[in-house]
Structure 1
């Protein structure tokens, strides 16, 4: 038995009375998760010093990324078998409990444990929200709600680090974690009425998922953790990192739709497009402030303006694609968005290699952000359109896993490449480690564009 699609007024929007509380609550949950990620990045150096845990600094970031993969798979399986309500509640509790552990941690080791729990909840939360969108919002409103999610992820970059620094200075770094717990609880109460409505409907009976899928998720999590820790080390570290990367690729085949890695038409290519989008954009993002300071001598504040401007571009493009609605098909949006991403990445590479004015690099990155804002939300819409009640949870988790693993693989590859090129004696573009990083960004953008061309079923 399947759930009936919600009946709505054709003039409804995501902020109409029928959806307003749910929209505010869901976007707020995404916003607080994004804010917390940026805030932790700001205060973690202080945390590591105060807790005498600098040696665990890297793993404190890798830990939630790794456990997030397990959370995504568990939530997808649970949602397909029992509906999205129980796993969504569980994900919020885990996320909040992880924050609580981090905020009260007396040692760096305990804080890392909190980060592991927090990542498990955050990964599950992403998938749970996607499944709820598929059940609560009609197809014509889904581009708008996903545009809201995109804005909620991007906008904290404008002020999140500053607020985190202020909180840490006034009340201590602990409150960067603890303050979010209460805000997440409030946001969840906004979503509860819609979840209660879903609970009263017949639950999907999703086919039994092999326990092996959970095993592969655990393997992928350990491999990602190893990749992050070993990726920049020379010698045997590089060999083990390469082996970890191979394990990730083997594992991911069991966590995404069949033939995703070979870009089969339809849903597999949608998932591959999503993974390659994140890989291209986020590996460039990680090195953008670094290259602006290293090559052009910009201050930390001025380099950070490039990230803020790109955030505005991403959010604006997301709103534009949402307003276009059905006039811009999902496949066309992905095709145009990936082309813009590729052009922006190429312009960034040109500016870095030829040492053009830094504004050219910023414009390239902003253009790439416009491409992300155009294509990224439509990968979610297309995934839901290709899904049924039986596999919506699995497909949602597959999309999120592709996103996380794509970024993790790209960042690890960039770390290895940057370190290797830095050790060479070559001059010019061939000896510029930043140019090498942006070359990787261009290559991933090309993969995204080619995959987007195969998203139509025929």
Structure 2
């Protein structure tokens, strides 16, 4: 039996390196900005607008994801990817040279737009540049590319901010991003555009903007609830929910809410697992500090362990040929459900904190298996001129659910942090996340292709 070549074989080496470099730098910027943000806000006298750079990035990221889906299906990945890298680089330059908070916010918006454009183009590049049997390993590169920034991002960004200034957290990435883009040019010259004449709806950017505004409004409404402003919170949340529903209805495949078999079910399950994971992850360090009295380093170690587990899971799914992809997704979701249920137990009185460490490794393994597997399932069911649109729906589901999950967790923390119900609140969050993943595991069979719908490379 002949061993198949790997993704770093000479034919695909530059492509694989370029993908890893681009995604790693996007991920590093996302992690580093949280470290540099306090210094940037103080320097620009923008404390009152502290949340705007994050909200603007989220909204424009969704716009980029929506635009890129149609663009890639019409023209292929080359122009969207190069444009995304150029816009992201311009955002880095704007943020790094900003003399006013408004310019800094605009830079963050450009970064979000660029990441959205480039992310979908990279996904389509995987579909066009690699044979079907190598796609799981190629998508594992994307998942693994998030691990190194998670490990070193806060330390590197903190060091740069302290010794060189916060501006160099952004400006220092410019030559690295441009260099990573150059390594992808040979592969981009060889892939042919799908050649689709008409693609989707022309108002996709508007719907993406509407969905992003809905997420931000819901997060703001939750913050108003936590602050005790009930009436404004209800109005803002209602408006946000309406905007989100209208946007997602146009952006996601028909039948997503009903888990219709095929791509809609994959898109729905990706959102469910992302929302559950990021909601719980956002409160793990706080829970360990508040309930168990751990220090800053010890409370952050589960996230490091989870990142390593994510890497291991991504590598494992790239090498597995059995069980089938739907069964593999079910296993990953089951691991997530067990992880969240176990974390919920550690929030109860008298239960020690140490189980969180192995539990979060299991959660990372589950995400490492599930995220690339959902990507493979989408590629297997997408024609060449559908990969951009379907990848866009998958990423929009992920980003939207992650934002909603972390926002909901923040509201719960705000509502319980000042009283004795904090532990019970965090336990309830863990159990709810476990139930969501268990329900998603039960629906994993619906992610298999509709008969006759699987598409060969």
Q: What TM-score do you get using the length of structure 2 for normalisation?
A: 0.93
Structure 1 gap segments, 5+ residues each: 1-8
Structure 2 gap segments, 5+ residues each: 451-457
User: For each residue in 1:390-413, what CA deviation from the matched residue of structure 2 results, as whole angstroms up to 9, or x when unmatched?
Assistant: 211100100100000111111222
Residue 435 of structure 1 deviates from its aligned partner by: 2.3
Does 2:208 correspond to 1:217? Answer: yes
User: For each residue in 1:41-100, what CA deviation from the matched residue of structure 2 results, as whole angstroms up to 9, or x when unmatched?
Assistant: 111112112211111111211211111111011111111111111111111111111111
Residue 447 of structure 1 deviates from its aligned partner by: 4.0
Does 2:193 correspond to 1:228? Answer: no
Residue 242 of structure 1 deviates from its aligned partner by: 4.1
Residue among 172, 181, 199 paired with 2:165: 172
Does 2:174 correspond to 1:188? Answer: no
What residue in structure 2 maps to residue 366 of structure 1? 361
User: For each residue in 1:199-224, what CA deviation from the matched residue of structure 2 results, as whole angstroms up to 9, or x when unmatched?
Assistant: xx364215332223332112112212
Does 2:297 correspond to 1:304? Answer: no
**Contact 1:321–1:328 (Cα < 8 Å) also in 2:** no
Residue 111 of structure 1 deviates from its aligned partner by: 0.5
What residue in structure 2 maps to residue 204 of structure 1? 195
What residue in structure 2 maps to residue 396 of structure 1? 391
Aligned pairs for 1:250-261 (under 5 A) are: 250-261=246-257
Residue 345 of structure 1 deviates from its aligned partner by: 0.6
Partners of 1:177 and 1:347 in 2: CA distance:
38
What residue in structure 1 maps to residue 110 of structure 2? 117
Partners of 1:370 and 1:24 in 2: CA distance:
23
Does 2:89 correspond to 1:93? Answer: no
Change (3 A) 1:90 1:245: same
**Contact 1:422–1:433 (Cα < 8 Å) also in 2:** no
Does 2:333 correspond to 1:338? Answer: yes
Residue among 37, 62, 66 paired with 1:69: 62
Partners of 2:124 and 2:395 in 1: CA distance:
12
Partners of 1:55 and 1:328 in 2: CA distance:
52
Partners of 2:323 and 2:175 in 1: CA distance:
39
Secondary structure of the 2:173 match is helix
Partners of 1:159 and 1:46 in 2: CA distance:
19
The alignment of Structure 1 onto Structure 2 pairs a total of residues equal to 444
Residue among 425, 447, 453 paired with 1:455: 447
Relative to structure 2, which stretch is displaced further, 210-219 or 303-312? 210-219
Partners of 2:350 and 2:283 in 1: CA distance:
15
Residue among 303, 313, 318 paired with 2:309: 313
**Contact 2:194–2:385 (Cα < 8 Å) also in 1:** no
Relative to structure 2, which stretch is displaced further, 231-240 or 49-58? 231-240
Secondary structure of the 1:231 match is helix
Partners of 1:43 and 1:439 in 2: CA distance:
34
Change (3 A) 1:222 1:428: closer
Q: What TM-score do you get using the length of structure 1 for normalisation?
A: 0.93
Change (3 A) 1:215 1:123: same
**Contact 1:58–1:229 (Cα < 8 Å) also in 2:** no
**Contact 2:144–2:314 (Cα < 8 Å) also in 1:** yes
What residue in structure 2 maps to residue 349 of structure 1? 344
Change (3 A) 1:237 1:449: farther
Change (3 A) 1:63 1:296: same
What residue in structure 2 maps to residue 4 of structure 1? none
